[in-house]
Copies of this chain bind each other. A is one copy, B any other.
Amino acid sequence: MFPGAAPNGSRPHLWRLCGPCSRQQRLDAALRIYARAGVGDLALNTLAEEAGVSNGTVYNYFRSREKVLEAVGLELAVQLSEQILTVSGAVDSGAERLSIAVRTFMNKARTDPDWTRALITVVRYAEGMRSTLATYLRADLQAGRRQGDFHYAHEEMAMSMEISATLGAMNLLVEDGEVEHADSIAAEMVLQALGGAVGEG
């Protein structure tokens, strides 16, 4: 059995979230935790049930409910970063990388509403997750500016607005249903907001 695998067959283990196991393995649990749980139903009993562990077990790994949410948020952030890097890793243009990121998010919102609701919920509750998202964004913004594509006046404001706008667009997709070419539209608006040309990416 490879290291980190669930010990006895189908029993999922919450420790995938915190133990010393591979990043790929953490994805499963984090996703499963929120995949079927309705937005706003953040009760730890429900969460524990989804994770396939007893409620008491949660407290062997997290000191409080808040810490659990943080961890789940982090997990979601890690997932998204990997998805983005997979696509934009080799791209040099900051603007293009940002465009790719936004479109990746939008497509995720279209194909995986549960994941998206989980993300939105967690961002609202655990404000700290914004910084995690910001970390990825900041590099692209700075690269885009260096390359002459972006002309924003205040980096923090730019990041905050870009993240909020993208989440808003995702929310619209999830709650109000399909929008044709939503990914390109969102990416275009986001780039324009930064004073950049329309991304071709």
Contacts and interface: CB of A to CB of B under 8 A. Distances in A.
A189 B124 contact: no
A157 B193 CA distance: 14
A44 interface: no
A157 B175 contact: no
Nearest to A4: B56
Interface in A143-165: 152-154, 156-158, 160-165
Contact of A157 (B158, B172, B192): B172
A91 interface: no
B171 A157 contact: no
A112 interface: no
A200 interface: no
A195 B192 contact: yes
Contacts of A157: 169, 172, 179, 182, 185-186, 189
Contact residues of A: prevailing secondary structure: helix
How often does this chain occur in the complex, in copies?
Answer: 4
Interface residues of A, number: 35
A169 B171 CA distance: 18
Interface string A115-143: 00000000010010000000000000000
A52 to B, nearest CB: 20
Contacts of A179: 154, 156-157
A168 interface: yes
A119 to B, nearest CB: 14
A181 interface: yes
A58 to B, nearest CB: 14
Interface in A165-201: 165-169, 171-172, 175-176, 179-182, 185-186, 188-190, 192-195
Given A127-B175, A168-B165, A154 B193 contact: no
Contact of A193 (B163, B167, B175, B192): B192
Closest 5 pairs between A and B when the two form their complex, measured CB to CB: A164-B168, A193-B193, A165-B165, A160-B172, A161-B165
